[in-house]
Chain A
Amino acid sequence: MFVDQLINGIVLGSIYALMAIGYTMVWNVLRFINFAHGEVYMGGAFVSLYLLLLDTPIWLAYLGGVCAGAFLGYLMEKVVYMRMRKAPKLNLLIAAIGISIVLQNVAQYIWGATPERLNSPFLSKNFTIADMEINQHYVFIIILTILVMIVLELFMNRTLMGKAVQAASQDINATQLMGINANKIISITFAIGSAVGALAGILVGPVFLVYPTMGVFAGLKGFTASVMGGMGNIPGAMIAGLLLGIIESFAAGFISSGYRDAVAMVILLFILLVRPQGIFGKIIQQKV
């Protein structure tokens, strides 16, 4: 029972962690919450689903979904957010909520409201380890999440581009003065964050189904995890995502399944009371 719930929690947490990365990365460069991030998750899953219906090999369909997600994020930035650079951040926030609602309805118009199941080669197979059954797709989710985290860590710390993104997150105006093309950095940030978000959607597609409003809930949880981890802190977002998943799973398993979300939110409130900057966040002194 304990190990079962732990595995359930890690799988759920992996998805939250992948979602949280997108919120945190965008926050880093633009200092606003992209509430349309959940729709990237949905878009990626739908594109994969339809590539699979066209008899595309499964790896190509997954890759296509990720690329489509990245492109959708890039497009959002180029078409809407870029024109609002000088506008108050609240305008951006409202624009994001607007994009989110529009994309949900566009998705329902194109693909219909009926949930569909994304295929996975692993879904119907279980590993049996010492009397315990572990689904292979769950293992696939965990492995892919770890891989993404390693690649992202390497990209941010070992490549020039990653360092430029880090610089932009410290002060976007100063980076521009140093001769870095800030618009390019913002585009790249959106594309990477969205690709990771789309991957999350594709990974849950076989387990939780694909439908137009699938991004709402995942988006909320990813956002929660990114706040928990300290807004702007990528490793923090990953760990907080995992933590949130595990807490939820234990809350449902050992306390009450009806109050799973409530329990998770109470814990979040507690964390924010004790550490307002998030678990891994640093307090940044504001210059007056």
Chain B
Amino acid sequence: MHSKKLVVKKMVMFLVLAFLLVGCSAKNSSTGSSNSASGDTLRVGLQAPMTGDNAQYGQDMKNGVELAFKKINSEGGINGKKLELIVGDDKATPSEAVAVVNKMINNDRVKAIIGGYNSSPTLASQEVSGPAKVLHLNMGASPDLSKTKNPYLFRVILTGSVYVPAVMNYMAKEKNVKKIAAIFENTDYGITMYDAAKQSTKDLGVDFITAEKYNPGDKNFSAQLSKIKTLKPDAVMVVGLYNEVALIEQQAKQAGLNVQFFSPDDSMYSEQLIKLGGDAVENHIFASMIDLNANTPQMKEFKALAEKNNVPAQANTAIAFDAAMAIAKALEKGGGNADKDRDALANIDISGITGPIKFDKNGDRSNTPMIMQVQNGTFKVIKDSE
């Protein structure tokens, strides 16, 4: 009797579970079909680190894309369709990036992807989006992103091979540095930026006396900085994001290493750098594609929009905003056909917050960077872009 009761109980449980499962999958397939029929929304994916050590960069990007979509949707959307954002968290790792991009393409049927922020995850995930013919507009800095031969891959920020010579030139000519110590992230981004910098040294008569590496997520740089200190460099080049740059300069002061610090790109351009680094980051020099204090109509409009929506106007937010506007424009012109969308993005010519948005044959921007410096806790342009 007892065991019979148990069997009945188990049967009921099984049936309930089975119903639940069928219910779930039915729901999935129904949304799936509405996607392929493409109702009145156009889906665009954002591949960015939303959790983990780089979560704040992903948040800034999401803010920027959301601002742009809000603006576009309030003006009637694209060819009558509203834009819908699908956020995929790549956790700044290549494996997660591949997984979320796969999901965005196969389950959510996105028309285009914005991101990622980091070079290594982007290099991995474009292997998925390329064959699927999905537009992929990324924010990675590594020069390797120009060499993928993926016609659907574009980059909204400047490539490292444009940033690096600009800042190296400035350091050599204006600051007269001869011996430079490098400390960089042990990733595609850090290594390729360092290689690009090393290439530019031959013509400039400067020399890298050491190349110290750190792993993403490291917070302790004292060992590397102590070593750099004994080599007595004229300047230190840091390739990293703002948390790391702030920490490195703070710890350099603690170790008694008081020389000029500079970075080849604007990955550290954020109020957060000053908040975390304080006096230690004063005089830091870097190449930047954007000046948040610029007096252009686009910048004013962006800042007003950011203020209205209570979003901090960070550099990454502005760049992601530009990316979203460019994608929207391409989707509008291409009409949702993968090849036409691609051609529309490749031939785009609009003026964004970060200047004119145009892409060369590698999918890179053709603008030149300006040189900026931290002065009295604010970011000042010390040399305009050419």
Hey, which bits of chain A sit against chain B, CB under 8 A?
1, 4-5, 8-9, 11-12, 104-105, 108, 112-117, 123-124, 126, 132-133, 135, 137-138, 204, 207-209, 211-214, 217, 248-250, 252-253, 256-258, 260-261
Contact = CB atoms under 8 A, between A and B. Distances in A.
Contact of A209 (B213, B247, B255): B247
A113 B224 contact: no
A133 B251 contact: no
B276 A253 contact: no
Contact of A249 (B52, B217, B222, B276): B222
Interface string B48-87: 0001110110010000000000000000000000000000
**How many B residues are at the interface, by size bracket?**
20 to 34
Given A207-B251, A209-B247, A257-B212, A249 B56 contact: no
A252 B217 CA distance: 16
B100 to A, nearest CB: 17
A209 B276 contact: yes
A28 B241 CA distance: 41
Nearest to B242: A115
Given A4-B229, A113-B52, 6 more contacts: A4-B255, A5-B227, A8-B222, A124-B253, A126-B256, A209-B243
A207 B220 contact: yes
B186 A258 contact: yes
Contact of B223 (A113, A114, A138, A253): A253
Contacts of B36: none
Given A126-B254, A257-B213, A115 B243 contact: yes
Given A8-B222, A207-B220, A248-B223, A213 B52 contact: yes
Interface in B248-290: 250-251, 253-256, 272, 275-276, 279
A32 to B, nearest CB: 26
Contacts of A132: 256
Given A209-B219, A209-B247, A213-B52, A257 B224 contact: yes
B222 A257 contact: no
B214 interface: yes
Name the residue among A113, A132, A213, A257 with the largest chain B CB count within 10 angstroms.
A257
Given A4-B229, A253-B226, A208 B220 contact: yes
Nearest to B222: A8
Interface in B205-224: 212-215, 217, 219-220, 222-224
B223 A133 contact: no
Contacts of A250: 223
B55 A204 contact: no
A-side interface mostly = helix
B230 interface: yes
A113 B254 contact: no
Contacts of A256: 213
Contacts of A115: 56, 243, 272, 276
Contacts of B214: 257-258
Interface of B: 51-53, 55-56, 59, 183, 186, 212-215, 217, 219-220, 222-224, 226-227, 229-230, 243, 247, 250-251, 253-256, 272, 275-276, 279
B256 A133 contact: yes
Nearest to A137: B254
Contact of A12 (B53, B220, B229, B247): B220
Contacts of A260: 215, 223
A138 B230 CA distance: 20
Residue among B55, B183, B247 having the largest count of chain A Cβ atoms under 10 Å:
B55
A113 B212 contact: no
Given A12-B220, A257-B212, A5 B226 contact: yes
A8 B250 CA distance: 14
Given A1-B230, A108-B55, A133 B255 contact: yes
B322 to A, nearest CB: 23
A255 to B, nearest CB: 10
Nearest to B272: A114
Contacts of A209: 219, 243, 247, 276
A9 B279 CA distance: 26
A252 to B, nearest CB: 3
Given A105-B51, A208-B219, A258 B227 contact: no
A1 B227 contact: yes
Q: Rank and list the top 4 A-B pairs by shortest CB-CB distance, nearest first.
A: A113-B55, A208-B219, A258-B213, A252-B223
A260 to B, nearest CB: 7
Contacts of B243: 115, 209
